[in-house]
Chains A and B, each alone.
Chain A
Amino acid sequence: MPKNMFEKIWDHHVVAEKPGQPAVIYIDLHLVHEVTSPQAFDGLRMSKREVRRPDLTIATVDHNVPTTNRDMPIADLISRAQVEALGHNVEEFGITYFDMNSPNQGIVHVIGPELGYTQPGKTIVCGDSHTSTHGAFGALAFGIGTSEVEHVLATQTLRQVKPKTMEIRINGKLAIGVTAKDIILAVIGKIGVGGATGHVVEYTGEAIRDLSMEGRMTVCNMSIEAGARAGMVAPDEKTIEYLRNRPKVPQGEDFEVAIGKWISFKSDPAATYDTLVQLEASELAPFVTWGTNPGMVVPVTENVPHPNSFDSQVDKEAAERALQYMDLEAGKAVQDINIDRVFIGSCTNSRIEDLRAASEVVKGRSVNEKVMAMVVPGSTAIKAQAELEGLDKIFVEAGFEWRDAGCSMCLGMNPDILGPGERCASTSNRNFEGRQGPGGRTHLMSPEMAAAAAIQGHIVDIRDWNFS
């Protein structure tokens, strides 16, 4: 019987299964960060349990770390205590740890692929909803809570009810100026923020195959914003070439052997899914969110929608609330929205390709005088690579701040936050109320679009941009 990729990976990882009970699923890679792990380590200590596979567990600090003055102790004492707690825990339990000043430090979903820990066919979890990012490599990767973090630490397994599957097929080719970010925003706009709840999504189609690994990570990253358990893309030549020579992949002949195993996880040609969603890539424009969840999104050429344009009463009321919070009037052209801040970063769009694309837009120009703009690379290694290519100079000369790696203003846990009422063009993943700081207003878009908004001081259609 033909199987899809999710089913193959699932079946490969079932340790035990009893009728009426969730399966015991083996976890190949457990990523740990400072925010969702301290209570899990406390739990282990209280019940006198060990970490079963410290060799399959990797820790770093990303959410809570400052993006400036890394040579100084963290000023916020509660943040410092949380970061220090992780340091103590990894030492006590013998876990590999990339601390704030390690050259391998970065957002956990950026460094996993970068170092080659993320591989096709693996089961990967982390106490973080954007773990879906790793699915871009054909891994089954999903976010878990702190109790489940403790469960994985203690047993290297999870109890899971088998999810359903959904194929999201993006046919045809993207137009110039339309990116991976626009694909996933269009998908969420189409199926809604709960549209994939209970499902693992496999993205297929020509437009997905055409994406780079960075682009596929952007798409898979935001699967959770459609409610999906995980998002994945079948491994191919691009996957293999991305992984070749990464520090943690098999080397030499072993790599060639690994390729065979990885490719075997691809969906069979006759495989089926519980649901199919299709989009035509050629019909997509750059997308921008106008509201307070990622499903509240329109093409940049359109206007902010009127609450009455929604069918259900629930959606009407949500739109009214969102417009009030965002201080926007229905009918306003998206391109007339002025912005105060620009954030280029996050596990969605902070990889080298994103920084290259944004730098092309800003090269030789200046950030609008009313705008404060910053670039936060996804990892310390990406920061170094960008500096090698001179991208930092392009950003700094244009008036951007060039920061150290971390989650930063995606979620506003460190000092990088919006002030009340400030409006931000952001390459991150969530435009929830207060997400980037209490009272802050977020418009999600691609790195190119955010960079152009920084220059112009308002949202623009990148397809109209005159590249120098």
Chain B
Amino acid sequence: MQPYNNVTGKALPLERANVDTDQIIPAKYLKRIERTGFGAFLFDSWRKLDSGKLNPDFILNDPRYAEATIIITGPNFGSGSSREHAPWALEDYGFRTLIGSSFADIFKNNCFQNGMLPVQLTDEAVKHFMEQAKADPDYQISVDLERCLVTGADEYTAEFEIDAFRRDCLLRGLDEIGLTLEYADAISEYEVGHPIT
């Protein structure tokens, strides 16, 4: 896994609640058996009009936010289907950092598995960053995973919490399967003691 590096960049204010993974990437694009190339289909039905042309009213198509590397979202982002194609599409498009007040459980796990960071902040802090990014597309946000700190260009700061294990995996780009295989003896021992009916 690619390590997560601290990021400073512009942020896309996606002010919608309960964004489900069907919106992040519709099911018709899940037929591919590869792990890459899903960025082209990110937010496909919001991004494109029925004619196939880009929807100028959708913020991802706003040229002022073209360089954004962080998404600021409404609550419960990533709800619904467990499809890991959702974080794959976000990552492939160029977003490895998400800021929101809450994320759906499976989506959050899927982000961690791909070296992506869903930063969970208070409603108040999310609102602040959202308003700043809406008002000024050049507003910069820095996310420091070592210090668990988000800082805006206006010096506004917000701390976040993350499981120490996940943080370490992200910072060092550790392969979780490799780590678990260190428990191979414990797993074998468990299997002997716990027959399955």
Contact = CB atoms under 8 A, between A and B. Distances in A.
Interface of A: 12-13, 15-16, 20-22, 24, 26, 28, 35-36, 38-39, 42, 47, 49, 52, 56, 63-64, 76, 78-79, 81-82, 85, 119, 122, 127-129, 142-148, 150-151, 154-157, 159, 161, 163, 193-194, 197-198, 224-225, 227, 229, 249-250, 254, 258, 261, 293, 295, 314-315, 317-318, 321, 411-413, 420, 430, 432-435, 438-439
B109 A145 contact: yes
Interface string B114-154: 10000000000000000000000000000000000000000
Contacts of A254: 197
Nearest to B106: A143
Interface in B174-197: 175-177, 179-181, 183-184, 186-187, 190-191, 194, 196-197
Contact of A193 (B33, B34, B76): B76
B35 interface: yes
Nearest to B22: A432
Given A159-B180, A261-B197, A438 B45 contact: yes
A329 to B, nearest CB: 22
B39 interface: no
Interface residues of B, number: 54
A343 to B, nearest CB: 15
Contacts, number: 184
A88 B35 CA distance: 18
Given A154-B181, A411-B27, A430-B20, 20 more contacts: A12-B194, A16-B186, A21-B164, A22-B165, A26-B194, A42-B33, A81-B31, A119-B197, A142-B106, A144-B82, A147-B114, A154-B180, A157-B187, A194-B102, A197-B104, A227-B76, A227-B105, A254-B197, A317-B16, A317-B17
B61 interface: no
Contacts of A15: 183, 186-187, 190
Interface string B10-32: 00000011101011001110111
Most buried by B among A15, A145, A249, A321: A145
Given A38-B33, A147-B84, A24 B187 contact: yes
A432 B78 CA distance: 12
A35 B197 contact: no
Given A82-B31, A155-B187, A315-B17, A434 B84 contact: no
A19 B36 CA distance: 35
A150 B177 contact: yes
A41 to B, nearest CB: 9
Contact of A194 (B104, B179, B180): B104
Nearest to A24: B183
B109 A156 contact: no
A151 B183 contact: no
Contacts of A197: 76, 102, 104-105
